[in-house]
Structure 1
């Protein structure tokens, strides 16, 4: 009764309004009802996410590159890793000797994911089991205390990206795990750094005999690859440029030995670089022993066999650093056994980085290797695909229709052509039949018979892993588009085209720092550069490759600190430098160590259009003034307090004017 009377009254009132008002009311009611219905539907389906879940295992180069390059919001991304940061591993040798601080080369993984603009979940845990049949991973939290039995959990996935990296390969050499130091992680570099200082402190004890000092200060590096060579160079510079000033009586006992099983160090580089490196190490007093195979490592000595003579030599040591290649992690070995993979070195994938036999699992970086398909395995189907008229003869016009797909599908063809200075694949076919413009299948086989000899496994480098991560992210970003419009090569053993182009590694060159501010570089086009100028190129390239402005600022600041103050030789695992705005003049040598960090911080904030905190700028002005007064007026001697106070005041007035000019006025930065 009430509703009918309300309806009659509302109708009578509504009829008194003009037609345009009635239209507005009707539209409002309809749209409001639609919004309510939409809200109810969304609430009912709130727990059902239509997004597919991508689980990423690892935060190394491959995992980081994948996360940085992901732009699509169509996926729910969950990252699992025992470390919550990304480490710039090419600078690990610099961390071992205090050239660069450990905190300068790491970036929180949550910070990287936040900047990518894609919602990414992270769990600090270790994946210990993968169940490909049920699309599930089992993980164990790193923080295994006070979790009330909740430290283990499982995650379902639609796609799995395995980027767990690898571990150092000991080749089952006795004693390596117990007595050698590795250089794969930031913690490894910090342990080496602390051990070096420990050895010098022990050797400086007054009651120690000379033989014991020689043993303690004998550093043995096993492996003449880039990591071993760079660490040997860093250690040599650290000893002769810094520790020799702190421990002058011990320098004569220091010996650095580099053991390499091959005929040369840096055997992946050009011969000119290899010879230069060996000659430089010889001049620097680094003992390079080629053809030496380590057979045993003990606490106080290392046993090596000379490959040429078979003679066994024992070398006393204070520390052994092992850098001889990589092997699969235990979790990966168990997974390989589970899926029946014969290759135990790494997970085997196809050219699209998919794990063989599993379309929704991808593996990249050091834990994977690409099984590139051979041309000769598909030679018959390639010929059949190209022979449109089924004559059994292939002319160049027919072949032109599939030539791009062949080069795209089999990258070794392009490598073979470049190596033999052939313009294109037509030149290869013409050479097989001289001037003939047609070939049959036998001549086709003969022409391509040597192409597969150019197949090589990709090196386990940061450059390869980063490119693989970016490639896979691009595939995920365009997954839906490429489902409708495939862009890959022809399926020679099927119908249609592959969804994506296969992964193609592009080599941008490689560096080998050799110490003494000298670096060797081998860049594409057989371009070789060695010397001091190349060192500055190395500084520039590595700065640009760091993942954030924060790490760039910190690393450049560390390099500057090393030039001014030398390397840090304090015996501790880490340090936090802070700048106090109010600096007491008589204690300034202990307070200005970090001023260069604030300079770079302010510069970065300004370049981004942000205003630095006034307290930071004021403190920075004081620190810079103190540093300039000290360096210019006192030549490193302990200064007179009154004189320094006068100089600091003078430089503060000058610097304040500079900062006021550089920063936006009327902001109170220097008030």
Structure 2
């Protein structure tokens, strides 16, 4: 991961008396975390190092929970003084779970730790990479209704601020749509749903207006949009129809998706089941419908299946859930470092921002640029050819294949997809004759053998699971900082020769869920295992309960689920 360096020649006694390190954690909205490492001065003295961490979402919280090195002073700066368990936001919109049950105060993570933490409620407004400064604005107004601004300097900066909702610059979206990104968004949606029912219940409202007011539009057929549509359907049909029986027949839910199918990132079996279930439930799924404009009362869509015909859909409430966008100050930072044309901050496999040796990024605001095999093919060949013969045997390549697969995970994925048991099978593709041990390749033949490997490279999804693993990875490296040696990363890792103290970050996928309402959930687990039905819903309950960040939130969430089973969902506007 990030290249951690330290002055190896400083004695343990000197460390005991002089080496006090500072870690400053700076946060902004939704997900992210922060970490840094110490670097010794060449003069033989160790200076305090300041680390600013931007973000206390999934990555930031994971980092803070796993950080246990008492040698650091950590300052946390965030516009929120809590962490939110965002996968349960759709449940908050419909009263299945209370907002308070899925949030944990940030300071609770610090209380029992030996690390010295400080927290300030503020947001980052600008990063000055050249001068190593971060400009912040307090989230708390003073008596003059002004927000105080201050500047923090840093030695190392970790950016994990999450992302904004991506509106694709569609006219009217910001003014007329609701989003589902923060706890406050879920609370707004909950109040808006009840408001629609109350407005439609007024005696002077026509049937035409009732149909419009009670038409709920969800834009985006990804996991969040699908789960919200399913939760809203259950809320309406299990709870609200009992309270508003005279207007229940006017309720309609429409899910708009620009692609050909909803849940496009899931297995086709899950996609087909979800679409069929929504059809049976009466949820109108319109695929191939691209939203081009949103007015106060209508959504205009371009129907791809009808030659791009524009149609207008009246609505009472619209929720926009179509992906993520870049925060303004991150865009400014990316322009400073020459990444202006990217969607997210580019990092290497150690989460180090490309072009900034002292800045790291993780979570939704960043993307890892995996190193390509073909970029290092000469180095790979030279390291593997130990006898300098100019040719490479299978035996020589096999000795370094573990290091290659760790440095370039696309190699292992390529072998798996090609159903090859070993690197020997890959090399034999270039030379069909001969036994494994007799296969010899020169560098050009090796290039041919590995020419298609880089096609297996994939970007990591912007999910809580990825951000959480990145935060834990950073904390683990930070805790082991004193074991690190200078320049721990390189083109290859070999036994006894420049071996990494810190391995590159590798994401491990544990599966994903898609709640579909009616106590039915679809799950796509590792190994292409697909599970759909009520039993999967109970698996969803157990996993989400176990993943809560504290025993307090775990107990609150379970009690909310129990309350819902006994008393139904809360339909108040509070």
TM over 0.5: yes
Query: Is the aligned partner of 1:128 residue 2:125?
Result: yes
Superposed, which structure 2 residues align to 1:405-554 within 5 Å? 405-436=403-434, 437-483=439-485, 490=492, 496-554=498-556
1:241 to 238, 252, 264: 238
CA distance in 1, matches of 2:423, 2:175: 54
Is residue 145 from structure 1 mapped to residue 142 from structure 2 by the alignment?
A: yes
Alignment partner for residue 216 of structure 1, among 209, 213, 225?
213
Match runs of 1:249-398 below 5 Å: 249-308=246-305, 309-398=307-396
CA distance in 1, matches of 2:170, 2:503: 42
Gap runs ≥5 in structure 1: 1-37, 43-47, 573-671
2:69 to 65, 69, 72: 72
CA distance, structure 1, for counterparts of residue 133 and residue 229 of structure 2: 44
Give the counterpart of 1:401 among 399, 402, 422: 399
- Kindly name which structure, 1 or 2, has the bigger radius of gyration based on alpha carbons: 1
SS at match of 2:89: helix
Per-residue CA shift, 1:534-584, capped at 9, x if unaligned? 000000000000000000000000000100110000012xxxxxxxxxxxx
Q: Does the 8 A contact of 2:398 with 2:423 survive in 1?
A: no
- Would the aligned equivalents of 2:523 and 2:531 in 1 still touch at CA under 8 Å? yes
CA distance in 2, matches of 1:564, 1:69: 37
2:447 alignment partner, SS class: helix
Distance 1:138 1:506 in 2: 35
1:74-223 to 2 correspondences below 5 Å? 74-146=71-143, 151-223=148-220
Distance 1:132 1:440 in 2: 44
Using a 3 Å threshold, how does the CA distance of structure 1 residues 49 and 215 change in structure 2: closer, same or farther?
A: farther
Change (3 A) 1:147 1:409: farther
Partner SS state of residue 373, structure 2? coil
Taking structure 1 as reference, are residues 150 and 171 closer, same or farther at Cα in structure 2, changes over 3 Å only?
closer
Could you tell me whether the CA contact under 8 Å between 1:488 and 1:501 is conserved in 2? no
Find runs of 4+ consecutive structure 1 residues off by over 4 angstroms.
Answer: 48-51, 147-150, 484-489
**CA deviation after TM superposition for structure 1 residue 49, in Å:** 9.8
Preserved contact between residue 520 and residue 537 of structure 2 (Cα < 8 Å):
yes
Contact in 1 for aligned 2:123/2:139 (Cα 8 Å) = yes
State the alpha-carbon separation in 1 of the partners of residues 338 and 518 from structure 2: 50
Give the Cα separation in 2 of the matches to 1:389 and 1:172. 59
Specify which structure has the higher proportion of helix: 1
CA distance in 1, matches of 2:418, 2:232: 42
Please tell me whether the aligned partners of residues 464 and 505 of structure 1 are also in contact (alpha carbons under 8 angstroms): yes
Contact 1:408/1:489 (<8 A) preserved:
no
d(CA) in 1 for partners of 2:199, 2:499: 67
Question: CA offsets per residue over residues 290-314 of structure 1, 9 Å max, x none?
Answer: 0000000000000001112211110
State which drifts further: 333-342 or 144-153.
144-153
**Residues in 1 aligned to 2:472 and 2:569: alpha-carbon distance in whole angstroms:** 35
Output the CA distance in 2 between the equivalents of 1:490 and 1:337: 31
Report which structure shows greater RCO (CA 8 Å, sep ≥6).
2
| C-alpha contact 2:176 2:296 (8 A) present in aligned 1 | yes
- Contact 1:51–1:75 (CA under 8 A) maintained in structure 2: no
User: C-alpha separation between the residues in 2 aligned to 1:87 and 1:117?
Assistant: 24
Between the aligned partners of 1:196 and 1:296, the Cα distance in structure 2 is 22
What is the CA–CA distance in structure 2 between the aligned matches of 1:342 and 1:155, rounded to whole Å?
24
Distance 1:414 1:255 in 2: 48
Pairing partner for 1:557 from 537, 555, 559: 559
State the number of aligned residues: 528
Unpaired runs of at least 5, structure 2: 1-13, 19-44
In structure 2, distance between residues paired with 1:150 and 1:287: 45
CA distance in 2 between partners of 1:277 and 1:115 (Å): 44
Helix, strand or coil at the partner of 1:402: helix
Shift of 1:142: 0.5
Q: Which has the higher strand share?
A: 2
The 8 Å contact of residues 489 and 501 in structure 1, kept in 2 or not, is answered as: no
Structure 1 residue 114: deviation in Å?
Answer: 2.4
- What TM-score do you get using the length of structure 2 for normalisation? 0.89
2:429 partner SS: helix
Aligned partner of 2:25 in structure 1 is none
Following superposition, the deviation at residue 425 of structure 1 comes to: 1.8
Is this contact kept in 2: 1:282–1:288, CA < 8 A?
yes
Q: Is the 8 A contact 1:215 1:316 kept in 2?
A: yes
Contact 1:230/1:515 (CA < 8 Å) preserved in 2?
Answer: yes
Distance in 1 between the 2:531 and 2:493 partners?
A: 43
My pick for the range that moved more, 430-439 or 242-251, is 430-439
Query: Offset at 1:172?
Result: 0.4
Distance 1:73 1:484 in 2: 22
Secondary structure at 1:515 match in 2: coil
User: For the structure 1 residues 415 and 245, does the alpha-carbon distance in structure 2 shift closer, same or farther, using more than 3 Å as the test?
Assistant: same
How far apart are 1:486 and its partner, in Å?
A: 5.0
143-152 vs 230-239, which moves further: 143-152
Partner Cα distance (2:500, 2:567) in 1: 57
**Superposition RMSD in Å:** 2.2
- The answer to whether the Cα contact below 8 Å between 2:521 and 2:533 also exists between their aligned partners in 1 is yes
Alignment-derived partner of residue 635 in structure 1: none
Displacement after TM superposition at 1:401 (Å): 3.3
8 Å Cα contact 2:129/2:333 also seen in 1 = no
Aligned partners of 2:485, 2:406: CA distance in 1, in Å?
19
Contact kept, 8 Å, 2:385 with 2:392, in 1: the verdict is: yes
CA shift, 1:154, in A, is: 1.4
Q: Find the aligned partners of 2:534 and 2:524 in 1 and give their Cα distance.
A: 15
C-alpha distance after superposition, 1:8-43 (max 9, x if no partner): xxxxxxxxxxxxxxxxxxxxxxxxxxxxxx9xx99x
Q: Which stretch of structure 1 is more off in the superposition, 369-378 or 542-551? A: 369-378
Contact kept, 8 Å, 1:489 with 1:497, in 2: the verdict is no
| 8 Å contact from structure 2 (residues 52, 156) kept in 1 | yes
